[in-house]
């Protein structure tokens, strides 16, 4: 029964649509609501709120009862760093050179000539948090960054293990992010040394592409055990919000950074790697208990968070606001995704999905889907898969992943085939859908220069000439009408500053420079400039 429930879960989510949803419903009006992101890692929609009752998640159940469940939400990559680049910028990772997993830490990959580097978005791009800071919000991130570039010095008031909205000035609105690592892929083997949070004989659903063995079941039990622990961590944050009297002035997002942690989930562009659960609790429980089936992409999150705070999103983003003051009047018809290098293994796949069908284009069809990754092979279920493969004991659904090649194009009906095992690309009955999604992918890719279509070494040389990181020009200053005006010769440089004096020493938080500054007698000003992807400038000091 558990296997049946797991298999039809996605079908149920795709088919049903809550008639109570009305896009025209008036949203609650708060001039400066707080925005809180609670971000789990490596998690598909396998919790009770999305139809899987394997374990209890009372805190997420509460959020779902008081909020809205969004059932068709997709990351832009099946792995974290490229997806987080899209969340932070509102742009597709393969548009800004952030598509390879990962760029800033490549030690041990063994790729000739590859050096650690940072993606360099266009000069007009600023991180989501900086827009909030410029609007007077306090911004905190606890604590994962992993954007494929170093955060701008002006991005956060605090990004650390102790970052919290409680560190802000009294009454100041906040944009705060908390990340929950406990559901990460690595925690399947790391947490194995600790007692399970679920029964040791818990009946768990095993998707058909994984072996139904005791070794596999134990790892899947660990996945659910980690979900239980994550739910408790979410509950602690919600308790703190209530203790501070902030529940009804805060928009709470809970979601995961991409799909599940298991083999043939993470790193792939199947729904098992891209589809994420999301719940948003709005102030005063607006739309409480509803489900929303609209298509949502990670590139939409930045615009939506700003829109809910009454801040107009920038026009350069690839996404659209699906809620708030600047909500788009048009619904999405498609979401898009990209897969590129994972650790030392290169592959290039692009995908487009509508409400039902998924189209995949494989740029290296001569290569198999399975990419040997030392990191993933620490997982017992992965070791089990490889053992059964070598013994010739895999079932057809399990052996597909280990094919030595793959077709140039694939098409799946995610309603009737939620695990994407039956390719329809050569079925004449689906030729119209194949042509439609093929054309949509072409249209998407024609809208920008896909950085995944060049070699990574060429990409690095393009953004870091000579494979040396460019340096942001130091700020220059002049006085105008008695105020200090700061600028940098580097296009897109963000300028941070501090005004210091007696009793006010230097600290790690840079204020965002937006307007000329008044410097009182006896005070001194220090400033720094930083374009994303460049090295920060040296500091200047004025008194």
pLDDT digits (tens, 9 = 90+) for 463-516: 999 999 999 999 999 999 999 999 999 999 999 999 999 878 888 899 999 999
Contacts of 408 by beta carbon, 8 Å cutoff, 6+ apart: 361, 362, 365
Q: What's the pLDDT tens digit per position in 335-345? A: 999 999 999 99
| Averaged pLDDT for residues 253-278 | 98
Looking at residue 26, what is its pLDDT? Answer: 66
Going by pLDDT thresholds of 50, 70 and 90, the confidence category of residue 315 is very high
Contacts of 515 by beta carbon, 8 Å cutoff, 6+ apart: none
* Beta strands at 494-500 and 511-512: parallel, antiparallel or unpaired: antiparallel
Pair of tokens at residue 126: 């600023």
Q: What's the pLDDT tens digit per position in 172-181? A: 999 999 999 9
* Beta strands at 138-142 and 174-180: parallel, antiparallel or unpaired: parallel
Going by pLDDT thresholds of 50, 70 and 90, the confidence category of residue 288 is very high
Radius of gyration of the chain from its Cα atoms, rounded to whole angstroms: 24
- Say yes or no to pLDDT of 533 above 90: yes
Which of 123, 127, 129, 135 minimizes the C-alpha distance to 514?
Answer: 135
Pair of tokens at residue 96: 């800004």
Q: What's the pLDDT tens digit per position in 419-472? A: 999 999 999 999 999 999 999 999 999 999 999 999 999 999 999 999 999 999
Residue 51 · residue 266 · CB < 8 Å = no
Q: Where does 1-13+34-469 sit in CATH, by number? A: 3.40.720.10
Going by pLDDT thresholds of 50, 70 and 90, the confidence category of residue 112 is confident
- Say yes or no to pLDDT of 2 above 60: no
| Averaged pLDDT for residues 67-79 | 98
- Say yes or no to pLDDT of 296 above 70: yes
Phi-psi region of 97 (alpha: psi -120 to 50; beta: other; left: phi over 0): left
Listed in order, the ranges of the chain carrying CATH 2.60.40 are 476-542
Q: What's the pLDDT tens digit per position in 343-371? A: 999 999 999 999 999 999 999 999 999 99
Question: Looking at per-residue confidence, does 1 or 381 come out higher?
Answer: 381
Looking at residue 131, what is its pLDDT? Answer: 98
Q: What's the pLDDT tens digit per position in 197-213? A: 999 999 999 999 999 99
The upper half-sphere exposure of residue 6, i.e. CA atoms within 13 Å in the direction of its Cβ, equals 18
Going by pLDDT thresholds of 50, 70 and 90, the confidence category of residue 9 is very low
| Averaged pLDDT for residues 135-163 | 98
Determine whether 17 is an active site residue: no
- Say yes or no to pLDDT of 543 above 90: no
Looking at residue 348, what is its pLDDT? Answer: 98
Looking at residue 81, what is its pLDDT? Answer: 98
What is the per-residue DSSP string for 59-119?
HHHHHHHHSEEEEEEE-SSSSHHHHHHHHHHSS-TTTTT--SB-SS--TT---TT------
**Class for domain 476-542, per CATH?**
mainly beta
How many whole angstroms separate alpha carbon 543 and alpha carbon 523? 6
Q: Could you give the 3-state DSSP secondary structure of residue 427?
A: coil
Listed in order, the ranges of the chain carrying CATH 3.40.720.10 are 1-13+34-469
Tokens 């607006």 belong to 286
Going by pLDDT thresholds of 50, 70 and 90, the confidence category of residue 23 is very low
Contacts of 140 by beta carbon, 8 Å cutoff, 6+ apart: 156, 157, 158, 159, 163, 164, 165, 167, 168, 174, 175, 176, 177
Looking at residue 353, what is its pLDDT? Answer: 98
Which of 395, 319, 409 minimizes the C-alpha distance to 361?
Answer: 409
Looking at residue 25, what is its pLDDT? Answer: 56
Among candidate residues 14, 15, 17, 80, the one labeled active-site is 80
Going by pLDDT thresholds of 50, 70 and 90, the confidence category of residue 8 is very low
Strand arrangement of the beta sheet that strand 349-353 belongs to:
335-339, 349-353, 357-362, 409-413
């Amino acid at each position: 029964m558990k296997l049946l429930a797991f298999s039809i879960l996605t079908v149920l989510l795709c088919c049903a649509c809550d008639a109570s949803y009305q896009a025209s419903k008036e949203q609650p009006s708060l001039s400066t609501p707080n925005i809180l992101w609670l971000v789990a890692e490596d998690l598909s929609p396998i919790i009770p709120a999305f139809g899987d009752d394997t374990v209890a998640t009372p805190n997420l159940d509460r959020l779902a009862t008081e909020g809205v469940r969004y059932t068709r939400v997709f990351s832009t990559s099946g792995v974290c760093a490229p997806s987080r680049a899209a969340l932070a910028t509102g742009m597709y990772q393969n548009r800004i050179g952030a598509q390879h997993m990962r760029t800033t830490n490549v030690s041990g990959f063994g790729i000739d000539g590859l050096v650690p580097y940072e993606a360099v978005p266009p000069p007009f791009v600023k991180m989501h948090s900086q827009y909030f800071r410029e609007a007077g919000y306090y911004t905190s991130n606890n604590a994962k960054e992993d954007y494929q570039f170093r955060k701008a010095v002006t991005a956060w008031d605090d990004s650390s293990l102790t970052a919290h909205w409680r560190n802000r000035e009294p009454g100041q609105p906040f944009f705060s992010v908390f990340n929950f690592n406990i559901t990460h892929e690595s925690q399947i083997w790391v947490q194995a040394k600790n007692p399970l949070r679920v029964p040791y004989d818990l009946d768990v659903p095993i998707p058909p592409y994984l072996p139904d063995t005791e070794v596999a079941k134990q790892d899947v039990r660990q996945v659910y055990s980690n979900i239980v622990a994550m739910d408790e961590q979410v509950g602690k944050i919600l308790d703190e919000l209530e203790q501070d009297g902030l529940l009804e002035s805060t928009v709470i997002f809970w979601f995961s950074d991409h799909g599940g942690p298991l083999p043939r989930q993470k790193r792939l562009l199947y729904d098992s790697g891209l589809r994420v659960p999301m719940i948003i609790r709005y102030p005063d429980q607006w739309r409480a208990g509803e489900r929303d089936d609209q298509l949502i992409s990670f590139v939409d999150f930045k615009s939506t968070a700003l829109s809910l705070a009454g801040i107009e999103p920038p026009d350069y983003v690839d996404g659209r606001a699906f809620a708030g003051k600047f909500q788009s009047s048009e619904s999405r018809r498609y979401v898009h995704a990209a897969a590129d290098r994972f650790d030392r293994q290169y592959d290039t796949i692009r995908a487009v999905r509508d409400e039902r069908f998924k189209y995949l284009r494989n740029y290296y069809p001569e290569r198999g889907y399975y990419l040997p990754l030392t990191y993933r092979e620490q997982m017992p279920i992965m070791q089990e898969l490889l053992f059964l493969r070598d013994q010739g004991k895999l079932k057809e659904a399990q052996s597909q992943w280990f094919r030595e090649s793959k077709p140039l194009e694939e098409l799946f009906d995610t309603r009737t085939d939620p695990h994407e095992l039956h390719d329809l690309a050569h079925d004449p009955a689906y030729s119209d859908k194949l042509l439609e999604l093929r054309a949509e992918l072409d249209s998407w890719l024609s809208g920008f220069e896909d950085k995944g279509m060049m070699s990574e070494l060429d990409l690095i040389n393009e953004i870091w000439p000579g494979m040396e990181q460019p340096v942001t020009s130091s700020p220059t200053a002049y006085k105008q009408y008695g105020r200090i005006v700061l600028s940098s010769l580097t296009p897109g440089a963000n300028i941070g500053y501090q005004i210091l004096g007696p009793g006010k020493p230097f600290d790690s938080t840079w204020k965002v420079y937006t307007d000329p500054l008044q410097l009182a007698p006896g005070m001194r000003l220090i400033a720094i400039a930083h374009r994303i992807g460049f090295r920060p400038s040296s500091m200047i000091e004025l008194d």
